[in-house]
Structure formats: C-alpha cells, structure tokens
C-alpha cells in the first residue's frame, strides 16, 4: 500500500497534520494509530476522563525507573486512542505568550516565535468568545472558557486579585504577566474537543485519507538514506506501508524516541546496549525530556460548596448525569480544573514562572487517587512552567514489547527548585485572603509540617507527580547534534520528520496540548511548502 505521507500517531499533532495534508485531494495520506477508534461516549463528555483514565483501555501506563529523590517508580500515563492524549486529558488550553515563544525562537529555532505561532492559533481556533487579535473564532478547534457562576470559583479569583494583585479577565490566554481567571478549555457545547473530533471525524469521508486504528508502528523502513515506509502490527499481523514522500512521526514524547531507536536512529551506545544496529547516529534522541513536577495541596471548606457537593454521592452523580443528557449542562459538561493562575516565584523575575491550577473539589487521598472526598474543598497544584531539569526515554530492547527506560528527572536544576519553594506560601496566602477566607476551614494536606522551602521540595518529591506534559525527547535545535532542524526534519536522513510534543526543546506554556496542536498546524504548512 503506497501513500504520499504516512503520519504515525493521531494525537495533538498527528491528527492536525493528517487532516490538513489531506485537504489536497491529490495527496494520499495514511494515519496510523496504535489505539482504537474511540467510540465510547465517555471519551466525549468532559468529565468522562474520570473513568477513561482508569485501566489501560485508552491509555499506555508506563513505569519509570526509580526516581532519584524517593527511589520509587512512578507511572506515566498517555493517551492510546484516536485523538491520542487529547482524548483523555484534562482539557486545559494554555498557549503561552510572546515572551515564551520568542525564547524558543531565540534558542535557534527560526519560525517558532510568537509572530508565527499566534496566526496558527487564530486559524485553528473556534473560540466561543469569538475572534479577536488574540484568538480565532471560526476554526475547527472548539475552545471555551470554563466559566461558572459559582460563588466559590469567583471567590478564588477575587482572592488572587485582592491578595496578590494578579490581573484577571475573561480570557487568560489574551493576557500576559501575573494573572488568574477561569481556565480556557478544549470543550465546546458541553463536549470535549479532541484532535480527532476537531480534525478527523469531520473528514472521515475523504477518499485520500486512510485512518488505520489498532495499528502500531513497529519500525521505520529505509530505502538507502531515505525513510520510505513503516512496518506495523495490525491485529497480530505485520503489514508494510510505503511513503512516496515522507513519514511523520507524531507518536508523543514517550513513544517517538522508542520508535526512532527501534528503527536504528539514536545514540550508538544506547542502540548498542539494546542490540539494535545503527542506521542514523543521532545522539540526542531520547534525551532532554522536560516534565513539570507539581506541588499538591488541599483545603477543607467549612461550608458546602464546589464540585464535591455536586458529585460525591450516587444520587448526585445521577442528577449530574441527567442534567448532562437533558441539557448538556452541569458539572459533567465542564472541565474540573476551572481556575488557573500564573505567578512569579520571585518579584524580580520578568514574567511568571509558575502555573497554578485550582479545582473546587476535594479528593480523599490526594491528587492522583481520583476519589472524591465526602467534604467540600479546594485542590491546588502548582508547578514551574518551564523546568530546566531534564530526563531521558530509551528502549530497553529491539522488540516492540520491550519496556521503555524512563528516567524522570525533576527539581535537579536550581531554577526549578527556586520556582517550587514558594508555591505553597502563595497558595496559603490566597486561602487566607478575603473573600475566600470565609469558606476555608483547615488545610487537609500537606499541613503544618511542610513550611520551609526545602520541606516543600521534599513534599513535591514525595506527594507530587509529573503532570503528563513532558516534551523534548526528539527536539529541534540549531546544533548538528540536535535531532531536528527548525522545519522538524530529522537530521541525517531524508523523508522523515518528527512532529509531536517530543519536538519542543522547552515547555513554552504551562500546558503542552495547545502548543502541540499549533505544532501540528505549522508542521502541515512546512510539509506542504517543502513538496
Ligand atoms: C492524563 C493526561 C492529562 C493531560 N492534561 C492536559 C491538559 O489539561 N492540558 C494540556 O495542555 N495538556 C495536557 N496533557 C498533555 C497533552 O495532552 C499532550 O502534551 C499532547 O496531547 C501531546 O501531543 P502528541 O501529539 O505529542 O502526543 P499524543 O497526544 O499523546 O498522541 C500520540 C498518539 O500516538 C499514538 N502512538 C504512539 N506510538 C505509536 C506507534 N508506535 N504506532 C501507532 N501509534 C502510536 C498513541 O496511541 C497516541 O494516540 C495531558 C496528558 C495526559 C495523558
């Protein structure tokens, strides 16, 4: 089977690329996705991710190597379904601003500054607030603001303004500097917008776009110095697909370096240890992985308020479900992390370096347990926006089933520790400020034993976690050793690009979905221009 382009992975970037390349009816595009087609309605209800993230039906769940700080292995979850992680994620849509994008460009990546990226966002977005100089109004990607009329949510925002002097407005993506407001979300008319629902399903009838779900790319195939196809496993059978023009690897930050290494593209010493022959020596494949580490905390409320009260008993869940079915309204129709703030960890900084997420909901045993508490509360997690510590992801063997070696590195760089130490103080100050103080009764966790900056770092290591945003495992950069050039072409071979969160050398926003969707949009332009 021959196509012009083969895109591997249908997540934030891959779905956009396949969709846009196939707009030209003469271009034959194959999109290969390891997961299924994603027909479960829970994938489309914003609150459905509470269920779809459990178990392994729609996700990969990787165990890391023991982390340095605790010696414990942690679990990294990623989407494995049409739409990739955008089909199961938290839906927070944070784009980053001019300063962050211009920093990426200044690192030696021409064409990735704000003046290129903002037009891509504007073309892509169908924002319910409508078009403006900051956002798009009639693009395919449904975005809305997780605004509620709840008094508690308003009190959180008002406390940020009153206590910290943060700015607020209807759209925090249309603001810069320290700010707090309702979260922008990939939710439209009460339904999750995934990259599949926005970019693939509307074009399912295109004869020149083939979508092979349940098909896992095992390795890339070469014709001399050119990548000419893909060997994939489908239903237990090996199948070969040929690409007349290019293969685009869009398999996410974890799977992308694994696929490259299985194909013989990587650091010769890593490949040697895994028993894989070298096709293209590319020493940085699998390195430079940047993931944020969040500091969790939770406050108990002295009165009933917030999402816990709407969802913490079976009758309430049934009522929430009925409201959703009848009117697409209520808590099931919204993303739960509905307040976001950006602040500076030190006043002398030029711009915010911490993102905080506030959820008007209490959990029983901590952030990652997904079990609602009986009492009302506010859950907070804060983390450095652009961490400098970096880890790695490599294969442990040539076989598709060989488990990855994920070295998760966090809080190793002093910049990351400096950004993390004051996070709890800022949040505690917020909770003590009017009008929020009238709701708050006590701190559920971590409690008074975590006070000093170093205690906060220890708490982040012990109780915190990565937040699924890792980037950088096959990144662009100006050095000959960098895996990609600024057009996302893999150095040292023809016919191969990498377009996914893996392609970013730094975190350009507090969240990685919006940047990766934009990367897909821009990648499609680059590929079309290079034809
Ligand atoms: C639980 C969770 C919550 C998150 N919450 C947020 C959030 O609220 N806001 C935010 O901005 N970001 C969030 N993210 C991160 C964001 O979703 C990702 O950064 C983004 O989707 C990455 O896009 P991608 O295209 O690189 O990869 P993905 O979206 O992960 O897609 C990769 C796709 O490739 C497929 N694939 C992998 N290997 C192969 C192979 N060998 N063959 C065929 N197919 C393959 C996978 O099945 C998957 O569908 C979250 C992620 C997760 C997992």
**70-87 tens-digit pLDDT:** 999 999 999 999 999 999
Rounded Cα distance between 397 and 404, Å, is 8
Provide residues with CB under 6 Å of ligand 1.
Answer: 8-14, 32-35, 53, 77-80, 84-86, 88-92, 216-217, 250-252, 255, 259, 468-469, 500-501, 511-514, 516
Locate the ligand 1 atom nearest the alpha carbon of residue 14 and give its number. Answer: 25
pLDDT score of 369: 57
Query: Is 366 a residue whose pLDDT tops 70?
Result: no
pLDDT score of 365: 66
Structure tokens at 531: 């034809």
Distance (angstroms) between ligand 1 centre and the Cα of 9 equals 9
CB 208 within 8 A of CB 26: yes
Task: State yes or no: cis peptide before 446, omega within 30 of 0.
Answer: yes
pLDDT score of 330: 87
Of 147, 183, 195, 194, nearest in space to 44 by CA: 194
Q: Which of 210, 251, 256 to mutate to test the pocket of ligand 1 (most atoms within 8 A of CB)?
A: 251
Distance (angstroms) between ligand 1 centre and the Cα of 252 equals 6
**Judging by beta carbons within 10 Å of its beta carbon (0-12, 13-18, 19+), is residue 236 exposed, middle or buried?**
exposed
Relative to beta strand 405-407, strand 280-281 is unpaired
What band does 336 get if pLDDT is binned at 50, 70 and 90? confident
Spatial neighbors of 143 by CB under 8 A, at least 6 apart, are 93, 125, 126, 127, 128, 135, 184, 185, 186, 187, 188, 193
How high does pLDDT run on average in the chain? 95
CB 357 within 8 A of CB 381: yes
Distance (angstroms) between ligand 1 centre and the Cα of 84 equals 5
164 is annotated as an active-site residue: no
The 10 Å Cβ neighbour count of residue 483 is 33
Of 30, 291, 337, nearest in space to 180 by CA: 337
pLDDT score of 312: 82
**452-499 tens-digit pLDDT:** 999 999 999 999 999 999 999 999 999 999 999 999 999 999 999 999
**229-240 tens-digit pLDDT:** 999 999 999 999
Q: Which of 89, 247, 263 to mutate to test the pocket of ligand 1 (most atoms within 8 A of CB)?
A: 89
**Judging by beta carbons within 10 Å of its beta carbon (0-12, 13-18, 19+), is residue 261 exposed, middle or buried?**
buried
Query: Is 307 a residue whose pLDDT tops 90?
Result: no
The H-or-E segment that residue 89 falls in is none
pTM above 0.85, yes or no: yes
Query: Is 311 a residue whose pLDDT tops 60?
Result: yes
**Catalytic annotation, pick one of 44, 127, 342, 469:** 469
Rounded Cα distance between 131 and 147, Å, is 18
């Amino acid at each position: 089977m021959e196509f012009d382009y083969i895109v591997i992975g249908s997540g934030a970037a891959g779905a956009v690329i396949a969709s846009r390349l196939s707009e030209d009816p003469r271009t034959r595009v194959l999109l290969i996705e390891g997961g299924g087609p994603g027909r479960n309605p829970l994938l489309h209800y914003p609150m459905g991710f509470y269920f779809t993230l459990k178990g392994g039906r729609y996700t990969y769940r990787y165990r890391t190597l023991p982390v340095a700080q605790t010696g414990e292995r942690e679990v990294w979850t990623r989407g494995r379904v049409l739409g990739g992680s955008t089909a199961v994620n938290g839906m927070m849509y944070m784009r980053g601003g001019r300063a962050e994008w211009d920093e990426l460009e200044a690192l030696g990546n021409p064409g990735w500054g704000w003046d290129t990226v903002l037009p891509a966002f504007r073309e892509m977005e169908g924002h319910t607030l409508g078009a403006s100089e900051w956002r798009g109004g009639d693009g395919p990607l449904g975005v809305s603001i997780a605004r509620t009329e709840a008094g508690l949510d308003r009190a959180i925002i008002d406390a940020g303004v009153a206590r910290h002097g943060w700015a607020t407005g209807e759209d925090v993506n249309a603001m810069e500097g320290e700010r707090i407001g309702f979260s922008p979300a990939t939710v439209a008319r009460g339904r999750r917008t995934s990259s599949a629902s926005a970019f693939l399903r509307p074009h399912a009838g295109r004869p020149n776009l083939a979508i092979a779900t349940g098909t896992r790319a095992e390795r890339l195939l070469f014709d001399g110095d050119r990548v000419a196809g893909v060997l994939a496993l489908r239903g237990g059978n090996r199948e070969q697909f040929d690409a007349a023009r290019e293969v685009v690897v869009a398999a996410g930050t974890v799977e992308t370096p694994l696929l490259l290494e299985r194909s013989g593209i990587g650091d010769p010493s890593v490949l040697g240890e895994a028993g894989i022959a070298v096709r293209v020596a590319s020493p940085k494949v699998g390195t430079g992985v940047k993931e944020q580490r969040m500091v969790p905390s939770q406050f108990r409320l002295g009165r009933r308020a917030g999402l816990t009260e709407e969802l913490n008993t079976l009758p309430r869940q049934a009522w929430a479900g009925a409201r959703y079915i009848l009117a697409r309204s209520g808590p099931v129709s919204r993303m739960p992390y509905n307040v976001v703030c950006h602040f500076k960890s030190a006043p002398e900084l030029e711009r915010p370096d911490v993102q905080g997420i506030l959820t008007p909901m209490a959990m029983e045993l901590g952030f990652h347990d997904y079990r609602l508490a009986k009492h009302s509360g506010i859950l907070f997690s804060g983390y450095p926006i652009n961490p400098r510590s970096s880890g790695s992801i490599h294969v442990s063997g040539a076989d598709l089933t060989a488990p990855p070696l994920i070295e998760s590195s966090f809080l190793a760089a002093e910049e990351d520790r400096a950004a993390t130490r004051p996070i709890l103080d800022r949040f505690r100050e917020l909770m003590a400020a009017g009008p929020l103080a009238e709701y708050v009764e006590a701190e559920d966790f971590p409690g008074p034993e975590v006070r000093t900056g170093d205690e906060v770092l220890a708490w982040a290591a012990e109780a915190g976690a990565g937040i699924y945003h890792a980037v950088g495992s096959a990144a662009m950069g100006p050095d000959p050793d960098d895996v990609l050039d600024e057009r996302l072409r893999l150095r040292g071979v023809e016919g191969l690009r990498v377009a996914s969160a893996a392609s970013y050398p730094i975190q350009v926003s507090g969240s990685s979905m919006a940047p990766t969707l934009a990367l897909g949009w821009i990648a499609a332009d680059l590929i079309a221009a290079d034809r």
